[in-house]
Amino acid sequence: MSDDSHQLRVSKIKNGTVIDHVRGGQALNVLAILGIDGSGDEAVSVGMNVPSDRMGRKDIVKVEGRELSQDEVDVLSLIAPDATINIVRAYDVIGKHRVERPTEVVGVLSCPNANCITTGDEPVASRFAVLGDGVRCAYCETLIREGFADHIDVE
């Protein structure tokens, strides 16, 4: 059964988040967005290039003991627009969300333009408009079209 073979790859989690239907090759960027680099104590399982009926190949990320915030889901949508977010409690999926592209992301990405007013000591939060193929700083108008994970500013 496909479910069994699937479980061989990525084990079930008790409490936490399963990010499924991530575009193949983006799992490490998902981890970067979540600030997971192995130095913390979360148990993380990653499946890469798992066969998928819908997507051909997909990545899947399971994070034990952590439920994603809306900010994190917003930014995930930039690199994993087809992802489904499953919130798991006591082995049961209690919430299932498709990520939705927000019209803007606030305080999540930091502007790559060193001359941007948001990168100095001002009290203002970064703000990016989400475009069809990237994001754009609402202050200096710099475009980011790839490498979003490099600009993540989530605590």
Partner 1 sequence: MQHDHVLTAKQFSRADIETVLDRAAAFDARREGVPPDGSEHDGSDAEAGVSDRHAETLLGLLFFEPSTRTRMSFETAIKRLGGDVVDMGSVESSSVKKGETLADTVRVIEGYADALVLRHPSQGAAKMASEYVDVPVINAGDGAGHHPTQTLLDLYTIREHAGLDDLTIGIMGDLKYGRTVHSLAQALTRFDATQHFVSPESLALPPDVRYDLDEAGTSVHSHTDLESVLPDLDVLYVTRIQRERFPDENEYRAIADAYGIDLETLERAKDELSIMHPLPRVDEIDPAIDDTDHAAYFDQAHSGIPVRMALLDLLL
Q: Which is nearer to Zn ion, 86 or 139 (CB)?
A: 139
CB 34 within 8 A of CB 108: no
Out of 111, 135, 144, 149, the only residue in the binding site for Zn ion (CB under 5 A) is 111
Q: Which is nearer to partner 1, 38 or 123 (CB)?
A: 123
**Which one of Zn ion, partner 1, none is in contact with 138 (Cβ closer than 5 to 8 A by kind)?**
partner 1
Nearest CA-CA partner of 48 in 8, 4, 9: 9
Work out how close the CB of 20 gets to partner 1 at its nearest, in angstroms, rounded to a whole number.
33
Footprint of partner 1 on 111-150 (CB under 8 A):
113, 115-118, 120-124, 136-143
Q: How far apart are CA 99 and CA 142, in angstroms?
A: 25
Determine the Cα–Cα distance for residues 50 and 57; give it in Å rounded to an integer: 5
CA distance 92 to 119: 42
Question: In the complex, which residues of this chain contact partner 1 (CB under 8 A)?
Answer: 113, 115-118, 120-124, 136-143
